[in-house]
Amino acid sequence: MPDTSYGFIGLGNMGGPMCTNLCAAGIVPTVFDAAGTAARAPDGAAVADSVAAVAQQDTVFLSLPDGRIVASVCDEIINAADRRVSTVVDFSTTGPEAAREIGARLKHAGITFVDAPVSGGKAGAIAGTVTVIASGPDAAVAALAGPFDAVGGNTFHVGQNPGQGQAVKLLNNFLSATAMAATSEAVQFGLSQGVAMETILDVVNVSTGRNTASADKFPKRVATETFDAGFAMSLMTKDVALYFDEVRKSSTSDKVGTVMTGLWNAADGAMPGADFTEIYKYLRDLSDGETT
Ligand code: NAD
């Protein structure tokens, strides 16, 4: 749809670079961020002064912290005077229940909703290689092929209904959170046996224990002691909690989820403002405390 105009709300760790990649692909949105748009807007994007101003575009992308904020921004879009928006695409992680509620509200207002959480982290957002996990009507998802290609390496259309994209995103993040926590514990055990971290990672990464933490987060963010994945521990804790809520409702097994939810809640409570890779420090300090 060459005549479609685009908006983008939420220019943080993910939204900022995704927006930059849209601009680079010639899809130049009108943008807004509540913390200050001009400082966060990519070169070339049109800076708006409110959500209502972005609602003057046909298709509006969101990349916001959580479902409560997405719902409130969608209400602002719905109530914007002379709004033009016909499709809202949510890249945020909000959980299935929030996505269903937001989808229903938008539908009632005559706006199509595409639930499209992303995976790949800040590094993937910068590189334009995030995985887009979309659920929504066929025609709406097909019409988004250009923008999805601009921000992502892979797009999956996992279902017709809001919430299905969120379900797949949450189970993915639960696996990522579990890998990060379990690898932290396992590496600390290896260190306690006098083996260097680099050696442990070299072995694991060509063996059956290889995972996203051992292959990516540990070499790039933990061994370097930079702890700069660009994904807040509070957001990962939110995702694990959302996953756990949905698992309990589904009555599938929640044994690992129970342990992970307790662990991430405790770490997040103890380390406000931390990056999620700092769970390594939390577990290390906990074990130091227990042995003294
Ligand atoms: P972030 O906190 O860096 O960015 C969110 C942005 O939204 C901020 O710039 C904030 O000012 C803005 N904002 C908040 N309320 C607003 C409002 N009412 N109106 C306009 N702007 C508002 O978060 P992030 O890391 O970019 O994550 C965004 C979403 O993507 C979250 O749902 C997160 O769970 C998800 N996510 C993050 C990562 C990651 O690695 N960071 C990866 C995949 C998915």
Is residue 234 lining ligand 1, measured as CB closer than 6 Å? no
Q: Nearest 5°: CA angle at 42, between 229 and 65? A: 45
Atom of ligand 1 nearest to the CA of 66: 32
pLDDT, tens digit, for every residue of 96-134? 999 999 999 999 999 999 999 999 999 999 999 999 999
Residue range(s) occupied by CATH 3.40.50.720 in the chain: 6-160
The preferred substitution site among 8, 9, 14 for testing ligand 1, maximizing ligand atoms within 8 Å of CB, is: 14
The answer, yes or no, to whether residue 2 has pLDDT greater than 70, is no
Residue range(s) occupied by CATH 1.10.1040.10 in the chain: 167-290
The answer, yes or no, to whether residue 150 has pLDDT greater than 80, is yes
Query: Which among 107, 122, 169, 255 is annotated as catalytic?
Result: 169
Domain at 167-290: CATH code: 1.10.1040.10
CATH topology of domain 6-160: Rossmann fold (3.40.50)
- Average pLDDT on 146-164 reads 96
What average pLDDT does the structure give for the chain? 96
Is residue 116 lining ligand 1, measured as CB closer than 6 Å? no
**What pTM was computed for the model?**
0.93
Is residue 12 lining ligand 1, measured as CB closer than 6 Å? yes
Report the pLDDT value the prediction gives residue 78, as an integer from 0 to 100: 98
pLDDT, tens digit, for every residue of 54-93? 999 999 999 999 999 999 999 999 999 999 999 999 999 9
Report the pLDDT value the prediction gives residue 292, as an integer from 0 to 100: 33
- Average pLDDT on 191-215 reads 98
The answer, yes or no, to whether residue 20 has pLDDT greater than 50, is yes
Q: Confirm whether 107 is a catalytic residue.
A: no
186 CA to centre of ligand 1 in angstroms: 31
Q: Name all contacts of 48-51 with Cβ < 8 Å and 24+ positions apart.
A: 48/7, 50/76, 51/9, 51/76, 51/77, 51/80
- Average pLDDT on 157-181 reads 98
Environment class of residue 215 by beta-carbon count within 10 Å: exposed (0-12), middle (13-18) or buried (19+)? middle
Is residue 53 lining ligand 1, measured as CB closer than 6 Å? no
Identify whether the C-beta of residue 67 lies closer than 8 Å to the C-beta of residue 102: yes
Distance between CA atoms of residues 54 and 61, nearest Å = 10
